Amino acid sequence: MLVFLATEKPPLTHVVLTGRNAKPDLIEAADLVTEMMLVKHPFRAGIKARKGVEF
């Protein structure tokens, strides 16, 4: 994948990376990198996940 990003990615295509713990090579190849940070999660307030509901 990194070889593709470095050599074959079309000129008007951009790589946007969002997440945690990305490998340094992937971060370097991306055009935009954001790092997600947990701010608030209902699980911490004792609310359990229910089938069919995502937090």
Domain boundaries, the chain: 2-40
Assess contact for 36 and 23: CB atoms under 8 A: no
d(CA 12, CA 29): 15
Residue 38 has pLDDT above 80, yes or no: no
Residue 46 has pLDDT above 60, yes or no: yes
Which residues 6+ apart lie within 8 Å of 36 measured at CB?
A: 18, 19, 20
d(CA 50, CA 6): 42
pTM of the model: 0.50
Q: Which helix (H) or strand (E) segment is 4 a member of?
A: helix 2-7
Residue 3 has pLDDT above 70, yes or no: yes
Q: What per-residue confidence (pLDDT) applies to 30?
A: 84
Digit-coded pLDDT (tens) for 21-36: 788 888 888 888 888 7
